[in-house]
Amino acid sequence: MSTSESSQNVWFITGTSSGFGRRLVPIILSRGDLVIATARTVTKIQEPGFFNIPSESSERLRLLQLDIDSGVDAIKQVVKEAVGFWGRIDVLVNNAAWAQQGLLEEAGSDLVRKIYQSNVFSMLDVTTSVLPYMREKRKGTIVVIGSRTSWMPENPSGGIYASSKSAVRTIGETLSVELVSFNIRVLIVEPGAFRTEGIFATPFFLENQIPDYDELRTSAQAFYNSINGTQKGDPVKGMEAVVDVVRGEGRASGKAWPLYLPLGVAAETTIRDKCQRMMGVLGEWQDVIRDVNFDQ
């Protein structure tokens, strides 16, 4: 390993064939760091010009096939191969995830399990596969791509994906305290409405239709179908902000490390609204909330 490589961050990113992952790769390379990009279908990211990077940057890019749902043993083998490139992983970006909208009673627990498998359990498998290498170095950064939907699960049909991202946030919060003694940081990124292709790739769940829900399902599906292409968030700008924070430069220069990074006005508004609602409940119901202890 050259002296320059030892001073560069080595990034390991899941789900780089679309969405935020695809945007991250060229941004990181433009900052001079090293990237290990993974995808379920590696031939897609191997296509010439896929990441639209200068030819000289390709020397700092490695591509690996990784199906995050393949099980922890298979993931460990891929991570071991990744570490072999430059001897370490400095930054893990848990980006790979998927979503399907559907009403909870119609979708049932089967769909919940499928989404949780990828978004929660497999994310944790990747993280625990990388952590031994970070602990050995006593240094590292784990980036978890969450979602502002975890703060607004009240939307009909959005509860399955939103709840998976709520779990992701909670896991990230716990990891942040469990890993602090190893000098491993956690960043929970919670994007709002961004114009990416991946999130709308799966059609609305329409199996097991229950007539009582016909009106609600129709309106929820229409709302879901109307969103794509209208989002105001620029995914490139969003991922530029993430790289700024991890590297402590640009817009993050001089700022303390944030455990949370909401991205976009939609995310900010949603989180503020939820916090205000909770503060309202705590105020209005304070007498009930506090009057549950044993009598002295």
Q: Indicate which residues carry an active-site annotation.
A: 161
What is the spatial distance between Cα 217 and Cα 223, in angstroms, rounded to a whole number?
Answer: 10
Q: What is the DSSP letter of 15?
A: -
Q: What is the DSSP letter of 241?
A: H
Tell me, rounded to whole angstroms, the distance of Cα 281 from its chain centroid. 30
What is the spatial distance between Cα 64 and Cα 69, in angstroms, rounded to a whole number?
Answer: 15
Do the bridges between strand 34-39 and strand 184-191 make them parallel or antiparallel, or are there none, so unpaired? unpaired
What is the spatial distance between Cα 101 and Cα 196, in angstroms, rounded to a whole number?
Answer: 16
Asked if residue 138 lies in contact with residue 132, where contact means CB atoms within 8 angstroms, the answer is no
Residue 258 amino acid letter: P
Tell me, rounded to whole angstroms, the distance of Cα 224 from its chain centroid. 20
Which CA distances in Å does 172 have to 127, 143, 159, 193? 10, 9, 20, 21
Q: Which position has the token pair 């992701």?
A: 168
What is the spatial distance between Cα 294 and Cα 296, in angstroms, rounded to a whole number?
Answer: 6
Asked if residue 12 lies in contact with residue 34, where contact means CB atoms within 8 angstroms, the answer is no
DSSP string, 45-60: HTSTTTT---GGGGGG
Residue 60 CB neighbours (<10 A): 19
Two tokens at 212? 């009582």
Two tokens at 243? 């790289």
